[in-house]
Homo-oligomer: A and B are copies of this chain.
Amino acid sequence: MITEPIDVLKALSDFGRLRVLKSLERKSLCVCEITELIGLATSTVSSHLNVLKNAGLIVDEKQGKWINYKMLPSPAPFFHEIWPIISKHLDDNPVIQQDLSKVASVDRKKICSNA
């Protein structure tokens, strides 16, 4: 499945998905952690993750009950070249800054399950 630049750009054209990517840049996260971080319904987050996955930007790996999502170590050239620039400029955004200040302390043990 070849990913055209336009497909990557479409995947990057939603602010929620940019927030997810910026957070995943810091560390791998499961769906419920991302849901907590972004504040959207679980099914919506799952849908966004699927878009990012289909565009070849992230991968998932099962870890017991959870599914961890993380950025691709070696993404296709287009995304590999373009992402650092986008990432850098997103750092100016207050919402992103808030996300990043929270992401380090997000803990699935606390936020998922026994709420």
Contact = CB atoms under 8 A, between A and B. Distances in A.
Interface string A74-115: 000110011001100110010000000000000000000000
A4 B95 CA distance: 12
Interface in A9-42: 9-10, 12-13, 15, 18
B93 A4 contact: yes
Copies in the complex: 2
Interface residue tally on A, bucketed by range: 10 to 19
Given A12-B13, A13-B13, A5 B81 contact: no
A1 interface: no
Given A9-B13, A9-B86, 16 more contacts: A4-B93, A5-B18, A5-B86, A5-B89, A5-B93, A6-B13, A6-B15, A6-B18, A9-B9, A9-B12, A9-B18, A10-B13, A77-B89, A82-B85, A82-B86, A85-B85
